[in-house]
Amino acid sequence: MKKKMWKAMVIIALLIGFQVIGTVIGYASDHLSNDEAKPVWWWDKDEEPSEEEAPPLRGGPEEDQRQQQPLVLQELQELYPEIAFLHGPTTGNKVALTFDDGPDPRYTPGVLEVLEEYNVPATFFLMGVRAEAQPELARQIVEEGHVIGNHTFWHPNLVTEGEISTLVNEVQKTEDTLAEIVGYRTTMFRPPYGFLYPELVEELGNLNYSVIAWSVDSLDWEPLLTSEQIAQNVLENIHPGAIVLMHDGAEATGDRTQTIEALREIIPTLQEQGMEFVTVPELLNIPYQRE
């Protein structure tokens, strides 16, 4: 009899304990503010990156993806000249620096420092998840006179994943995220790895986006390139109206220090040659934000 009473008391105690825990969890869930809420990362729901890390690229490192298939952006630009752009007018002296995959707390501040030093505006194509993780850094980009574009939320390979719904979800989630942080909705989109197919371009046109590619690739995404090699890739291929591809963001094992150093050679050299640095919207004469 005593043994049965003892078991009953243990069961009652456990039930009371579970009820208390449930109440505490429910209270915490209902009362946490948005600032206190923590994002859930797709790659590891039990851990999130520190303030000095950046969420990874869903499609994988740039160097891996670029070697798998050729770029077809030039063909897409020929098919959709009102939507896709590789460069601006070639009759003037204006060029545009662009940076992908940020904001990255390891390298974006260094890029911004060099741009400020030379009083050069640029265009940053931001990942939604990284902007969400570094909102102050995203705001700093805009506050220092640069403009931003949409570079998807998780940086998937849109051609490999294939579904138009993936594109729409990635674009709209990023647009909402960036608008909440910087206060405007961008009109520009750059596809991860430069990969698109015609139906995706058409859908981007339906969403009132301009697809911004590039005509000069610094190749700063290739491992082991020195700052001198990166600068050489740009300076040897530069032309009036060029849109230059560079990166202020990297994978966990990536390093954009050489990109930052290359800018210290690229910018003054082109300025001495009479080139004027402008943002992509100014180069293409398109709006950078929606009305």
DSSP state at residue 67: T
The CB density around residue 251, as the number of other CB atoms within 10 Å, is 18
73-106 per-position pLDDT tens digit: 788 899 999 999 999 999 999 999 999 999 999 9
- Supply the DSSP string of 208-232, one letter for each residue: T-EEE--SEE--TTSTT--HHHHHH
The share of the chain scoring above pLDDT 90, in percent, equals 70
The pLDDT of residue 1: 43
The pLDDT of residue 56: 63
Tell me which of 100, 101, 104, 217 is the catalytic residue: 100
pLDDT at 192 over 60: yes
Minimum mean pLDDT range among 10-24, 80-94, 116-130, 267-281? 10-24
100 catalytic per annotation: yes
The pLDDT of residue 63: 56
Nearest C-alpha neighbor of 114 from the set 146, 138, 92, 148: 146
The pLDDT of residue 72: 66
d(CA 230, CA 116): 20
- Count CA atoms within 13 Å of residue 15 on its CB side: 6
The pLDDT of residue 291: 74
Supply 53's token pair. 């890390």
Q: With H, G, I as helix, E, B as strand and everything else as coil, classify residue 242.
A: strand
Q: Under a CB-based contact definition with an 8 Å cutoff, are residues 262 and 220 in contact?
A: yes
146 catalytic per annotation: no
118-177 per-position pLDDT tens digit: 999 999 999 999 999 999 999 999 999 999 999 999 999 999 888 999 999 999 999 999
Using alpha carbons, list the distances in angstroms from residue 108 to 24, 192, 204, 248: 40, 18, 27, 5
The average pLDDT across 194-209 equals 95
Tell me which of 87, 151, 155, 247 is the catalytic residue: 247
d(CA 223, CA 61): 10
The pLDDT-based confidence of 2 (bands split at 50, 70, 90) is very low
The pLDDT-based confidence of 9 (bands split at 50, 70, 90) is very low
**Distance, first Cα to last Cα, the chain:** 78
Q: What integer best gives the mean pLDDT of the chain?
A: 84
The pLDDT-based confidence of 212 (bands split at 50, 70, 90) is very high
